Chains A and B, each alone.
Chain A
């Protein structure tokens, strides 16, 4: 909402500097986003009068205008088509700062020789002055504009640009802001009396109004003005509309807009002659009904909307836009003026469905009050009579099925203190409310307040408390710390799990990324080299912004691999990324499951190229190592079994299981998937469902006593079939008494081992908790281990 201070000042005395006023309004809820000063650069521009017009000796299109500035006269070359003797214009001296009418750039006026005639100065268009975009001719000022006066003094202004919150439609007008300013500076706000002459037959004999949908139209008022002439509106009105960001059209339309900006009530002017039968019917559209609106579009109406119709059909979409057929045009002589109130939700719905947000729409949908209709239509009728000539019919049509008596709200000083934490006196409370136009009845420690009609946002006591707080000033609310005991807290265990996992994985060198929760089917299908399409279909957004963000991710992999692929283009030679976040798994007729997942990927060389050497590529065991480290830190007993994840390499993957639950996977990405994501190197991936893992966290570890007796270490090398796993061997070794620890230190196949065989070398640590072991004792156990390995796995001791 743009607020020219010159207009505001007609209602309230602004003694404060504009920045201070802006600050006061902002603190009290009307946020002033900007302050624009018109005429800031208008030095060397004064008001002049054209006293002579002569042809240019060398050009047909140009003329020489002599402009009287009171104390001096200047003759300048002028190309404008609208030069008229006696007109008052804005004259710019050489040196004035103007805006180029064609390029829009700021320039400083220099003396010029145009087709052989020297011109020092110029008459300016609105665009050149920065008032509007109009550059068809020079700006013509009103006849009373004082010659010789600087233009800044006459037309200059300061405009506040305020953000009006949706609860305050009453502030979407000059009068509303004036009320706020008056309350904040504790002034009264005298309203001018609106009077106009009424003549001719009573309006009832010429216009009738029927409200067929009183639930959507609480009030409809109409006035009739005949014998008017449609012309341009006066410059002062055009100026005010422009400053408020509206385009002048003609005097009638301008008046309806002007009164909307002044009072906050949207109005609509019909050409009375085009309203069939002089009858207005406010009703829901019939099935399939259409209307061509003012912008020339044909609109299909639904039965959930509301139209203004005459005897034959719709003439306007109520509160949203008028119809083209009853539009006020240059030949119009009679105006049927509408001021009405409509159901806010219905207007919002119509504006939204038809995609037609408008100034009127915005005011109706926020809930302006039906009482506003009467002062606004009187004001607009007065202006039409005054500025367009014509005669107002006697009386007004006023159909008001939604009239309701305002309810008083009781507020006690205790309630104010209870909520704000500050003890405002009853006098202060009543003072604040009264300054805003509330009708207050004081009791001993309470006030019964009736909100003024324009405050449609006041319903309950807390609404009054906010009014008191903002008028007294939020700065006067004390700053206190919570003094109540801290409530008993049982934090959700997933929170600390997530934090622990993030910290661990980042500690292993993985960089955390956050990717969008939304992705595309195409992206998800890249993960599935076998089936090719994701099942079940993930949750879809009905109104996706782009096709890349249409489906809610059922896993973290797709976006993470895309991130990996993108980073490879920057030639990072060692990339490790992880993301921790929710995935969304659809459920029948319910919100989806949103388990917390963690996925990590690694590709490239383990350490990156370094002068230390060791430029090895990542392999399966890097990914597995990260998972093992994490599981160990979280104290989770899980094992790795053969996996069947189709996104992973069929021979290089494992499922992470605890009991009968799969917690995740680890493995090398399937080469086809790498290819699909345009990743030229092998990718190692792990993915863990943290929500599934949570029940398996064992909690606090139980201390194991440390044996005071020495350990004995024996190394053995086994030759087994390549199909025998490390797991099988260690499971057997671990099963023997005195075995404290088993570590594999070599895996070998090739040269010295027969084909089809491999060698596994273990270091076995023996220890007893009761005595010092002897060689003999250990030899015996070791032999038993070897026998068992030989029996179970066909293992030979490697010489």
Chain B
């Protein structure tokens, strides 16, 4: 009998080991541990055995039963684990594969810069004004104290429109600065005025790394009672602080523009060398950012504003330079080359 139990155990364990699907465990259990199983029958038949044998076989049979039950539990756990491992393999995702993209376009760096500048001035109460790009000589020059043959015209080489008046004059041009919008604003609006005027401007110039025949500017104009040069300085310093950062040093020096008096120029500490002097800043340590000043009384008067009642400041700044400085771009032509390899970086 003991021999039989031994063989049964060996059989059962061998069979159990070969099982690799959870479903088959149940039939194994029924076969070896179920009510009709050999083992159960042996246990039931114990009563008929003599006492000595009953004790020995009973102990052995119970042992075998416990052992088989234990093996079954272990096998169940092992199969469960294997199952989990298997499904983990099937269900997991490779998190390093790229996601399904939502194609995103980018705004041009010049547009981004213009938005940012208009936001900064907007928060100081400036509204945005625009004006024509094809302009009359009057608004681009005459109204701004730059009559014909004025040397200030030389630094703004002009592209003229092929249009002659009956008297043979050529009064139409591509505006050389957005200050032409200032001339129009003075003429059409009444004080108080607080505006910025962004847009494209044009010069009769060949392209190189720092020049293009078309670029962007923004002009600003404030007209009110009691506007001072201190307010001009304050406004521009605030702009510089917000655009270039708190720690960037600023310089405000005397300069000349025919439509302002006193005139000024604002420069910031060179972003490249931090004021030490390098090629970018022409060894000066400073980068000129904008021209400004108190609007010339003659310019106000010509536009119908009484300079005895109102004072005014104006400023004008090139836009393209700013993203060039910020992103370390060394060639202005990249802005107008429409090269996606460049534009997608912003």
Can you identify 9 A-B contacts, CB atoms within 8 angstroms?
Answer: A348-B149, A419-B294, A474-B264, A485-B192, A512-B105, A514-B338, A572-B340, A591-B134, A592-B134
**Contact A165–B255 (Cβ < 8 Å):** yes
- The interface residues of chain B lying within 8 Å CB-to-CB of A465 are 261-262
CB nearest to A33 among chain B residues: B282
Q: Contacting A543 at CB < 8 Å: which of B154, B160, B298?
A: B160
**Contact B161–A345 (Cβ < 8 Å):** no
- The interface residues of chain A lying within 8 Å CB-to-CB of B163 are 539, 542
Q: Assuming A419-B294, A421-B231, A481-B235, is B107 touching A512 (CB within 8 A)?
A: yes
Let me know if B50 is at the binding interface, CB within 8 A.
no
Let me know if A663 is at the binding interface, CB within 8 A.
no
- The interface residues of chain A lying within 8 Å CB-to-CB of B155 are 166
Minimum distance in angstroms from B345 CB to a CB of chain A? 11
Interchain CA distance A611-B229 in the complex, whole Å? 62
**Contact A487–B160 (Cβ < 8 Å):** no
- The interface residues of chain A lying within 8 Å CB-to-CB of B104 are 506-507, 509
CB within 8 Å of B: which A14-39 residues: 26-29, 31, 33-34
* A-binding residues in B (CB < 8 A): 97-98, 100-108, 110-111, 115, 124-125, 127-130, 132-136, 147-152, 154-155, 159-163, 165, 170, 172, 174, 191-194, 200, 202, 204-206, 213-214, 222, 224-231, 233-235, 237-238, 251-256, 258, 261-264, 282-284, 294, 296-298, 311, 335-336, 338-341, 343-344
**Contact A495–B130 (Cβ < 8 Å):** yes
Interface centre among B133, B152, B191, B339, by most chain A C-beta atoms within 10 angstroms, is B133
List 6 A-B pairs, minimum CB-CB distance, nearest first: A421-B228, A421-B230, A509-B103, A563-B338, A466-B262, A486-B125
Stretch of A295-303, A515-523, A752-760 at the chain-chain interface: A515-523
Stretch of A140-148, A328-336, A573-581, A718-726 at the chain-chain interface: A573-581
**Contact A575–B134 (Cβ < 8 Å):** no
Interchain CA distance A611-B101 in the complex, whole Å? 11
CB within 8 Å of B: which A447-505 residues: 460, 462-463, 465-466, 469-470, 474-475, 477-487, 489-492, 494-495, 499, 502-503, 505
Interchain CA distance A483-B225 in the complex, whole Å? 10
Let me know if A68 is at the binding interface, CB within 8 A.
no
CB nearest to A349 among chain B residues: B149
**Contact A479–B237 (Cβ < 8 Å):** yes
Interchain CA distance A88-B161 in the complex, whole Å? 62
- The interface residues of chain A lying within 8 Å CB-to-CB of B225 are 484
Q: Contacting A514 at CB < 8 Å: which of B229, B335, B340?
A: B335
**Contact B228–A418 (Cβ < 8 Å):** yes
Minimum distance in angstroms from A789 CB to a CB of chain B? 38
Let me know if A790 is at the binding interface, CB within 8 A.
no
Minimum distance in angstroms from A444 CB to a CB of chain B? 21
Q: Assuming A512-B106, A513-B108, A545-B204, is B213 touching A345 (CB within 8 A)?
A: no
Q: Contacting A422 at CB < 8 Å: which of B159, B230, B238?
A: B230
Q: Assuming A511-B344, A513-B108, is B230 touching A365 (CB within 8 A)?
A: no
Let me know if A582 is at the binding interface, CB within 8 A.
yes
- The interface residues of chain B lying within 8 Å CB-to-CB of A485 are 192
- The interface residues of chain A lying within 8 Å CB-to-CB of B134 are 539, 552, 584, 591-592, 594
- The interface residues of chain A lying within 8 Å CB-to-CB of B214 are 516-518
Q: Assuming A366-B151, A495-B128, A512-B106, is B254 touching A466 (CB within 8 A)?
A: yes
Minimum distance in angstroms from B83 CB to a CB of chain A? 30
Interchain CA distance A470-B263 in the complex, whole Å? 10
CB nearest to B174 among chain A residues: A541
- The interface residues of chain B lying within 8 Å CB-to-CB of A552 are 134
Interface centre among B127, B234, B338, by most chain A C-beta atoms within 10 angstroms, is B338
Q: Assuming A516-B336, A607-B103, is B297 touching A460 (CB within 8 A)?
A: yes
Let me know if A508 is at the binding interface, CB within 8 A.
yes
CB nearest to B198 among chain A residues: A495
Interchain CA distance A515-B229 in the complex, whole Å? 38
**Contact A542–B162 (Cβ < 8 Å):** yes
**Contact B228–A480 (Cβ < 8 Å):** yes
Q: Contacting A29 at CB < 8 Å: which of B234, B253, B282?
A: B253
- The interface residues of chain B lying within 8 Å CB-to-CB of A419 are 228-229, 262, 294, 311
- The interface residues of chain A lying within 8 Å CB-to-CB of B106 are 506, 511-512
Interchain CA distance A489-B128 in the complex, whole Å? 9
**Contact B161–A418 (Cβ < 8 Å):** no
**Contact B230–A474 (Cβ < 8 Å):** no
Interchain CA distance A494-B129 in the complex, whole Å? 10
**Contact B160–A469 (Cβ < 8 Å):** no
Residues 587-624 of chain A: 1 if any B CB is under 8 Å from the residue's CB, otherwise 0? 00101101000000000000110111000000000000
Q: Contacting B224 at CB < 8 Å: which of A484, A543, A584?
A: A484
CB nearest to A419 among chain B residues: B294
Q: Assuming A366-B151, A541-B160, A543-B160, is B336 touching A515 (CB within 8 A)?
A: yes
Q: Assuming A366-B151, A462-B297, A474-B264, is B254 touching A29 (CB within 8 A)?
A: yes
Interchain CA distance A460-B136 in the complex, whole Å? 28
Interchain CA distance A506-B112 in the complex, whole Å? 12
**Contact A574–B151 (Cβ < 8 Å):** no
Interface centre among B98, B115, B129, B229, by most chain A C-beta atoms within 10 angstroms, is B229
**Contact B296–A462 (Cβ < 8 Å):** yes
- The interface residues of chain B lying within 8 Å CB-to-CB of A577 are 338, 340
Q: Contacting A484 at CB < 8 Å: which of B97, B110, B227, B261?
A: B227
Let me know if A420 is at the binding interface, CB within 8 A.
yes
- The interface residues of chain B lying within 8 Å CB-to-CB of A503 are 107
Q: Assuming A29-B253, A348-B149, is B231 touching A542 (CB within 8 A)?
A: no
**Contact A607–B255 (Cβ < 8 Å):** no
**Contact B128–A474 (Cβ < 8 Å):** no
Interchain CA distance A646-B324 in the complex, whole Å? 40
**Contact B161–A539 (Cβ < 8 Å):** yes
**Contact B230–A477 (Cβ < 8 Å):** yes
Q: Assuming A27-B253, A515-B338, A539-B161, is B194 touching A487 (CB within 8 A)?
A: yes
Let me know if A566 is at the binding interface, CB within 8 A.
yes
Interchain CA distance A539-B255 in the complex, whole Å? 36
- The interface residues of chain B lying within 8 Å CB-to-CB of A394 are none
**Contact B205–A545 (Cβ < 8 Å):** yes
Minimum distance in angstroms from B319 CB to a CB of chain A? 11
Q: Contacting A474 at CB < 8 Å: which of B222, B253, B344?
A: B253
CB nearest to B237 among chain A residues: A479
**Contact A511–B343 (Cβ < 8 Å):** yes
**Contact A502–B263 (Cβ < 8 Å):** no
**Contact B204–A543 (Cβ < 8 Å):** yes
**Contact A481–B231 (Cβ < 8 Å):** yes
Q: Contacting A506 at CB < 8 Å: which of B98, B105, B148, B193?
A: B105
- The interface residues of chain B lying within 8 Å CB-to-CB of A365 are 149, 151
**Contact A612–B100 (Cβ < 8 Å):** yes
Interchain CA distance A344-B174 in the complex, whole Å? 26
- The interface residues of chain A lying within 8 Å CB-to-CB of B108 are 512-514
CB nearest to A514 among chain B residues: B108
CB nearest to B124 among chain A residues: A482
- The interface residues of chain B lying within 8 Å CB-to-CB of A549 are 213
Q: Contacting A502 at CB < 8 Å: which of B107, B124, B148, B230?
A: B107
* A470-B254, A589-B165 known, 16 other contacts, Cβ within 8 Å: A348-B151, A419-B294, A474-B252, A480-B228, A482-B231, A491-B127, A506-B105, A512-B105, A513-B338, A517-B133, A517-B200, A539-B161, A540-B161, A545-B206, A567-B340, A592-B134
Interchain CA distance A569-B296 in the complex, whole Å? 52
Q: Assuming A479-B233, A509-B103, A545-B205, is B151 touching A484 (CB within 8 A)?
A: no
**Contact A480–B231 (Cβ < 8 Å):** yes
Minimum distance in angstroms from B76 CB to a CB of chain A? 40
CB nearest to B262 among chain A residues: A466
- The interface residues of chain A lying within 8 Å CB-to-CB of B298 are 460
**Contact B194–A508 (Cβ < 8 Å):** no
Interchain CA distance A28-B265 in the complex, whole Å? 11
- The interface residues of chain A lying within 8 Å CB-to-CB of B340 are 511, 567, 570, 572, 575, 577
